[in-house]
Structure 1
Amino acid sequence: MDDKDAVMAALNDWMEGLDSGDLERMVKTCDPEVVVCNERQPTTVGIQAIRDKYGPRIEANTFRSGFEIEHFKVYGDQALMVGHFTVEFTEKKTGRKGGGAGRLVLTYRKHPDGSWKLLLDIDNNGERNAT
């Protein structure tokens, strides 16, 4: 598997983990120093922050996520991915549906064992192609 395929596999594991409600599958794709900068939320650092953020969300909702790549390049032991995300959710208790879409920048770091882990996640919400 080449580096681009390995990064894509990590991204797909994250999304499949979210969509199936498997938080530990998501966590396994993250660098220990992962930094998450989501719009209108405090910046978080580390694996425990991922658990704290996504655990309650997964407990309360089911998800369906998507990602369309706009730019993707490997720079040595780092990879940069820019694109558009979509997410739909359904509240487990009420059945209420919601979701969002926006732009996303992801940086992955290659580890000594050859695995690629999410290092930086920056998003902004909003409709794609909005004027």
Structure 2
Amino acid sequence: MNNNLIQEVRNALDEWLDAFNNNDIEALMAVYDPEIMYANSAKPVEIGIPTVKEGFINSFSIKPKVFFKEEQVIAVEGLGYVAGQFRIAGTSTEDSSEMSESGRVVVIFRKNDLGEWKLIFDMDNRPPDVTI
């Protein structure tokens, strides 16, 4: 296993986490590949940055923060995979109560022609064994 590639993929995920936690939609979309497929367990599959962006704009209304616990990283030339647990917390726009959900996520990054790691596939679910 190539530790440099693994670190590059972790760095790309850290960019995503920073952008999400700052609710910075443009920085977040900059991490995505134009061919992104986003499979969230709560809604139909979204394909392409414009569709994914619309969903995140809506979710940013609660000012969410994500907490992530890595479970596995695999990277080979041009492709990287990260799996882990997450918890997202935010504040309801209706009554200011705290909202949160937890689950497991798998993300796949692909290195583009410019040498940048871009998120190409993002899938999450809500299994009962998540502890974060």
TM-score of the aligned structures, taking structure 2 as reference length: 0.88
| CA-CA distance at 1:86 after TM superposition | 1.1
| CA-CA distance at 1:113 after TM superposition | 1.3
Match of 1:95 in 2: 96
- 1:27 matched to 2:29: yes
88 and 126 in structure 1: CA distance in 2 versus 1, 3 angstrom threshold: farther
| CA-CA distance at 1:128 after TM superposition | 3.3
In terms of fraction of residues, the more strand-rich structure is 1
Match of 2:73 in 1: 72
Q: Deviations over 1:58-113 (max 9, x none)?
A: 1x211121111111010221111111111111135632211111111110001111
Q: Is the 8 A contact 1:101 1:128 kept in 2?
A: no
Task: State how far apart, in whole Å, the 1-side matches of 2:21 and 2:92 are.
Answer: 13
Structure 2 unmatched runs, 5+: none
Superposition RMSD in Å: 1.9
Aligned residues: 129
92 and 9 in structure 1: CA distance in 2 versus 1, 3 angstrom threshold: farther
Q: Percent identity?
A: 23
Q: Is the 8 A contact 1:62 1:92 kept in 2?
A: no
Task: State how far apart, in whole Å, the 1-side matches of 2:58 and 2:95 are.
Answer: 16
Specify the code of the residue in structure 2 equivalent to 1:15. Answer: L
Q: Which moved more, 1:101-110 or 1:119-128?
A: 119-128
SS of match in other structure, 1:28? helix
Task: State how far apart, in whole Å, the 1-side matches of 2:114 and 2:106 are.
Answer: 24
1:75-86 alignment, distance < 5 Å = 75-86=76-87
SS of match in other structure, 1:67? strand
SS of match in other structure, 2:64? strand
TM-score of the aligned structures, taking structure 1 as reference length: 0.89
